[in-house]
Chain A
Amino acid sequence: MGSSSSNMNNIPDGQQLLQETGFSAAHIVRLYERFEFLDKDNTGHLRPEDLETVPDLDKNPIGARIIGAFFPPGKETLDFGSFVRILAHFRPADSNRARDGAQQEPANSTTGKLRFAFQLYDQDGDGKISRDELLQVLRSMLGLQVTEEQLQCIAERAIQEADADKDDAISFDEFRKSLEKVDIDHKMSISFLR
């Protein structure tokens, strides 16, 4: 812990990130080390290629999408602040809600987590998961195990399950509603980021 406080000062916007994301100083430091490690050429920014070098990520069926989620449309680089803010989605929800008063929607709230998951599907950013978008994800996750027709049926069916307003696409509200029963806090939290 002694080293962390000294390191905190080197981190750009360290204190602000601390406030914003709810990470502890130790976490921020650890993430910063990781960030610097991934940032091979020390530019202070990550490029998609940097993340692609992470071992095992290429085997992950939705790895590319996860990487994509780190880079908002139009941005080719990722600074440390955005990096931490994105990872903050995966921080377990706070048991003491006192802090929530200050901000309107912390990244690690259920809605924040869901929004992150939602945008993994919603590639074109129109606020809706269309059938094609769902199909792409399904295809990458199910791979060669099922035929294309089956994939289409599955996508069709999944959309129908969630699609309340019959527009043949899943909006964020529909998405949230369909996952109402899933313990999002449990499923989208990583213990080490606590």
Chain B
Amino acid sequence: MRGSGYVHLWLVVCLISGVTRANGDVALTHQESPLKPSESKSSLNHTEHGHDSIITGIPIVTFKWHHVEAPYIIVLWILVAGLGKMVIESNHHVTNVIPESALLICFGFILGGMIWGADKQQTFKLTPTVFFFYLLPQIILDAGYFMPNKLFFSNMGGILVYAVIGTCWNAASLGLSLWGCHMGGAMGDLDIGLLQYLLFGSLIAAVDPVAVLAVFEQVHVNEVLFIMVFGESLLNDGVTVVLFNVFDAFVSLGGSKINAVEIIKGIISFFVVAFGGSLMGLVFGLLISLLTRCTKNIQIIEAGFIFVFGYLAYLTAEMLSLSAILSIVFCGMCCQKYINANMDERSVTTVRYVMKVLANGSETIIFVFLGISAIDKSIWVWNTGFILLTLLFIFVYRIIGVFFLTWILNKFRLVPLEFIDQVIMSYGGLRGAVAYGLATMLDENKIKEKNLMVCTTLIVVYFTVILQGITMKPLVTWLKVKRAAVTELTLIEKVQNKAFDHMLVAIEDISGQIGHNYMRDKWKHFEENWMSRFLMKPSARKNRDRIFNVFHQLNLKDAMSYVAEGERRGSLEFIRNESAFVDFKKKFGDEYSEVMPDIMADTSDDHGAMSAVGRNPVPSVSLEMHEQTMNGMRETNDVNSHHLLQQHLYKGRKQHRHRYSRSHFEVNKDENEVQEIFQRTMRSRLESFKSAKMGVAPPKHITKHTKRDQQQKMPNGKSVDKNRSYYSGDEDFEFSEGDSASGLEASRNSFPMRITYRAGDGIENPAFMPDLDPMSQVQIPPWLAEAELDSGMVAPSQRAQVRLPWTPSNLRRLAPLRNSTHSTDSFMLADAPAAQQRDDDELPPPPSPPQSPPPPPPHRGRL
């Protein structure tokens, strides 16, 4: 059992085998004695034995390194890779020139060198198992899930041609050419036959999605070019694995036994594997979509299903020897629409972020280990002819293939690919970890020159990723390749795009042709009528219109900018005085620039900062792993606003609580309670408003006074602060910073004209009158009267009372997030320092005088 357990561990973590000393000596100063792999088995036993013997004595602390060794090392590696990335990314001037992937590989070189220095042998390397089972799937799933489907499918033909024909061409031409050169004697004495050359060609033929993404996302080429290169790299991974397996089988079979039947079988298997894998992915994608229809009650884990099913799609395809990569790609592509619609928005956000975390993490680890793998004497078998010829052929045949295929494709394409695009596509033929993973999978018994192939593959990878990666950006700039337009989301564009779609369909109908648009329209109808019906929740099917979504997002953005501006200025007062759809910045500028030039200057800065939060431009291609592609999406805005509000507002509530409710700390979680408090608050505020309107007393007096009233009216004094907290969250943002001592100055300056009494606003309901009058004069506490003398100050409740009917409904969603910020106390302090002492004495906990009438129940219903 121990042995098998160990073997299992060994398999799972072979990447980290025997590392103890590496970590100890090099990376992380563990004081662990070196262990040879053979020893570590016995030492494991020893540990467990030691564990038994522990019982005799009573150790307080034991050091059980071997107990945690394997997972520990994995985690440490992840940490190291992550830290490496962090350091690299913090040097922007470097990453602007050298792509991150190249830097990570170099980081890997350094780490590998350190390990080598400590161990004198290669202890870590990227093994095919770890790579194909644990690192690759998440990257591919991420790519599939974030695939811009429309773009992908509208260029599907081209992508398939490049991915299938292009890859086969690369593999065959490289294999044959190398073989030809071998025959010609360019490489000296090598034991490689034609089939082995073809096998090598097939493994190194494919452009690598990881490497391509890492480089192309930094250069921002136009979306068509991007999807071509990226789609190709994604699909040809599947193709290359299939080719590799076919040729591997041929090699095992031996040259003599291969006849026409076997070749035909190979070709058939190629298609079966590729299409079977895609189909498998579709099936799993549909299954996830169906499943997420019913996860309403387990929202907390529904995000996990996506990863589980994605991985299952990968493993199932692998089990059936179908193309696992294609499977997981199509799984991600197929499910994205439905799961996004079916799941809770928070789950969608979770999926997006976790997807990015996993993919970025894997990518980082892959590149680091590609670097580390180089530091190994045993794999470096130098054969100048073989290596240089491989590099040359890869480069040349890629160019030939791309230009030839594009020439054919352009005969059919609506918008032909330009010459410059073709140059970039040819140059973007980066090879990566998939090739390396396949190379290490080669069987040394069958292929004598495995090490040469691995070494050549590594050189090709380094050459393409580092050299071509570095030169890509200058090349793109120099050739003036059409860049991706980083567009702001605008409604009119969305509307117009939709109109264009309809228009094209109509024109195709009229001219009696069946074109792309016709097909797309038909598919859309089918999709809406059938697929959505089965795969989407009925509730999710509604309001899925793109235009409306954009509209919604834009509104959220505006809300965000309102909040940002409001916080800047200490209040959201202005929001009620201007139309919700006006770009308030302009108006704001016009109205206030003369009043408060200094604040204006601030605001413009802040606008910039705010735009980083709320107005992130949405890149037209939303696939790039490192970009925050989710910015500008609804979810992110939500998160942003939540975060913002929590950061800025929640603290206040806590302080407030501690100040006021010393004996009552229970959190206001109960919805009903909140509701009731809200209603009460509204009621009392309406009352106070009423009283103000009636002119029973000067408005300010009434205000302050009824405010106190309202506190006292609460049957239990403790709910007072809660109640304020709730309503202020709902409608009174000016409570937050504007009235605090610190924001006082600003708020005074910025709202000189706001402090006006508006007679017209409000609901006239005589029913309130009887309650109010008796209370109004009796209970003005002396310190409040004092406070009134400070005429520059406005009592918040007066403002509130004045604005009450203006409550912008679009801010209501923010309400629960913001609990109270400032209490009566805090503005009192600001108001009348003289009153402070008494205030403090009197207020916490607020008294509940017997004379105050209990809140009359009938009014609650009305409000």
What residues of chain A lie closer than 8 Å to B515, measured between beta carbons? 190-192
Does A137 belong to the interface (CB within 8 Å)?
A: yes
Q: Indicate if the CB atoms of B496 and A179 lie closer than 8 Å.
A: yes
Which of A134, A154, A179, A190 touches B548 (beta carbons < 8 Å)? A154
What residues of chain A lie closer than 8 Å to B63, measured between beta carbons? none
Q: Indicate if the CB atoms of B498 and A141 lie closer than 8 Å.
A: yes
Q: Indicate if the CB atoms of B508 and A95 lie closer than 8 Å.
A: no
CA distance A51 to B508 in the complex (A): 12
Q: Which of B38-46, B263-271, B485-493 contacts A (4 or more CB under 8 A)?
A: B485-493
Closest approach, in angstroms, between the C-beta of A157 and any C-beta of chain B? 5
Does A120 belong to the interface (CB within 8 Å)?
A: yes
CA distance A62 to B543 in the complex (A): 20
Known: A138-B495, A145-B548, A157-B581. A55 touches B504 (CB 8 A): no
Q: Taking CB as reference atom, which chain A residue is nearest B522?
A: A56
What residues of chain A lie closer than 8 Å to B500, measured between beta carbons? 117, 187-188
What residues of chain B lie closer than 8 Å to A192, measured between beta carbons? 508, 511, 513, 515
CA distance A31 to B582 in the complex (A): 48
Q: Taking CB as reference atom, which chain B residue is nearest A183?
A: B415
Closest approach, in angstroms, between the C-beta of B770 and any C-beta of chain A? 38
Does B551 belong to the interface (CB within 8 Å)?
A: yes
CA distance A137 to B583 in the complex (A): 24
Does A181 belong to the interface (CB within 8 Å)?
A: yes
Q: Which of B455-506 contact A (CB under 8 A)?
A: 485, 487, 490-493, 495-500, 502-506
Q: Indicate if the CB atoms of A66 and B506 lie closer than 8 Å.
A: yes
Binding site of B, secondary structure by majority: helix, strand, loop or mixed? helix
Which of B513, B548, B582, B583 touches A150 (beta carbons < 8 Å)? B548
Closest approach, in angstroms, between the C-beta of A57 and any C-beta of chain B? 5
Q: Which of B396-419 contact A (CB under 8 A)?
A: 412-416
What residues of chain B lie closer than 8 Å to A178, measured between beta carbons? 490, 492-493, 496
Q: Indicate if the CB atoms of B507 and A87 lie closer than 8 Å.
A: yes
Known: A186-B415, A187-B500. A57 touches B510 (CB 8 A): yes
Q: Indicate if the CB atoms of B509 and A57 lie closer than 8 Å.
A: yes
Q: Indicate if the CB atoms of A56 and B509 lie closer than 8 Å.
A: yes
Q: Which of A2-10, A103-111, A158-166 contacts B (4 or more CB under 8 A)?
A: A158-166
What residues of chain B lie closer than 8 Å to A160, measured between beta carbons? 581-583
Q: Indicate if the CB atoms of B414 and A189 lie closer than 8 Å.
A: yes
Q: Indicate if the CB atoms of A182 and B496 lie closer than 8 Å.
A: yes
Closest approach, in angstroms, between the C-beta of B808 and any C-beta of chain A? 13
Q: Indicate if the CB atoms of A142 and B414 lie closer than 8 Å.
A: no
Q: Which of A143-187 contact B (CB under 8 A)?
A: 145-146, 150, 153-154, 156-158, 160-162, 170, 178-179, 181-182, 185-187
Does B512 belong to the interface (CB within 8 Å)?
A: yes
Which of B497, B506, B509 touches A187 (beta carbons < 8 Å)? B497
Q: Which of B703-730 contact A (CB under 8 A)?
A: none
CA distance A141 to B543 in the complex (A): 13
Closest approach, in angstroms, between the C-beta of B571 and any C-beta of chain A? 25
Q: Indicate if the CB atoms of A34 and B548 lie closer than 8 Å.
A: no
Q: Which of A45-61 contact B (CB under 8 A)?
A: 51, 54-57, 60-61
Q: Indicate if the CB atoms of A145 and B545 lie closer than 8 Å.
A: yes
Closest approach, in angstroms, between the C-beta of B54 and any C-beta of chain A? 68
Does A22 belong to the interface (CB within 8 Å)?
A: no
Does B542 belong to the interface (CB within 8 Å)?
A: yes
Q: Taking CB as reference atom, which chain B residue is nearest A84?
A: B511
Q: Indicate if the CB atoms of A186 and B414 lie closer than 8 Å.
A: yes
What residues of chain A lie closer than 8 Å to B358, measured between beta carbons? none
Q: Indicate if the CB atoms of A141 and B502 lie closer than 8 Å.
A: yes
Closest approach, in angstroms, between the C-beta of B811 and any C-beta of chain A? 16
What residues of chain A lie closer than 8 Å to B279, measured between beta carbons? none
CA distance A157 to B508 in the complex (A): 31
What residues of chain A lie closer than 8 Å to B507, measured between beta carbons? 66, 87, 90, 190
Q: Indicate if the CB atoms of B547 and A138 lie closer than 8 Å.
A: yes
CA distance A38 to B509 in the complex (A): 11
Does B517 belong to the interface (CB within 8 Å)?
A: yes
Closest approach, in angstroms, between the C-beta of B543 and any C-beta of chain A? 6
Does B67 belong to the interface (CB within 8 Å)?
A: no
Known: A145-B545, A182-B493. A120 touches B503 (CB 8 A): yes
Closest approach, in angstroms, between the C-beta of A132 and any C-beta of chain B? 15
Q: Which of A122-139 contact B (CB under 8 A)?
A: 134, 137-138
What residues of chain A lie closer than 8 Å to B509, measured between beta carbons? 54-57, 60
Does B387 belong to the interface (CB within 8 Å)?
A: no
Q: Indicate if the CB atoms of B551 and A150 lie closer than 8 Å.
A: yes
Known: A182-B497, A187-B497. A146 touches B414 (CB 8 A): no
Q: Indicate if the CB atoms of B542 and A145 lie closer than 8 Å.
A: yes
Known: A117-B496, A178-B492. A37 touches B548 (CB 8 A): no
Q: Indicate if the CB atoms of A34 and B581 lie closer than 8 Å.
A: no
What residues of chain A lie closer than 8 Å to B496, measured between beta carbons? 117, 178-179, 182
What residues of chain B lie closer than 8 Å to A95, measured between beta carbons? 416
Which of B491, B506, B512 touches A157 (beta carbons < 8 Å)? B491
> C-beta contact mask, A77-121 vs B, less than 8 Å → 1, else 0?
000000000010010100100000000000000000000010010
CA distance A150 to B554 in the complex (A): 13
Q: Which of B501-535 contact A (CB under 8 A)?
A: 502-513, 515-517, 521
Does A11 belong to the interface (CB within 8 Å)?
A: no
Q: Indicate if the CB atoms of B545 and A142 lie closer than 8 Å.
A: yes
Q: Taking CB as reference atom, which chain A residue is nearest B485?
A: A181
Which of A38, A150, A162, A187 touches B492 (beta carbons < 8 Å)? A162
Does A63 belong to the interface (CB within 8 Å)?
A: yes
What residues of chain B lie closer than 8 Å to A38, measured between beta carbons? 510, 512
Q: Indicate if the CB atoms of A31 and B506 lie closer than 8 Å.
A: no
What residues of chain A lie closer than 8 Å to B502, measured between beta carbons? 60-63, 66, 141
Q: Indicate if the CB atoms of B499 and A146 lie closer than 8 Å.
A: no
What residues of chain A lie closer than 8 Å to B492, measured between beta carbons? 158, 161-162, 170, 178-179
Which of B491, B512, B521 touches A154 (beta carbons < 8 Å)? B491
What residues of chain A lie closer than 8 Å to B521, measured between beta carbons? 56
Does A40 belong to the interface (CB within 8 Å)?
A: no
What residues of chain A lie closer than 8 Å to B548, measured between beta carbons? 142, 145-146, 150, 154
Q: Taking CB as reference atom, which chain A residue is nearest B512?
A: A34
Q: Indicate if the CB atoms of B545 and A146 lie closer than 8 Å.
A: yes
Does A18 belong to the interface (CB within 8 Å)?
A: no
Q: A137-B499, A156-B581 are in contact. List 9 more A-B contacts (CB 8 A).
A: A90-B507, A92-B415, A138-B547, A157-B551, A162-B492, A181-B493, A185-B415, A191-B515, A192-B513
Q: List 13 A-B contacts (CB under 8 A).
A: A31-B511, A63-B506, A87-B507, A92-B415, A117-B500, A137-B495, A146-B548, A156-B581, A157-B491, A170-B492, A187-B504, A188-B503, A191-B412
Residues of A within 8 A of B (CB): 31, 34, 37-38, 51, 54-57, 60-63, 66, 70, 87, 90, 92, 95, 117, 120, 134, 137-138, 141-142, 145-146, 150, 153-154, 156-158, 160-162, 170, 178-179, 181-182, 185-194
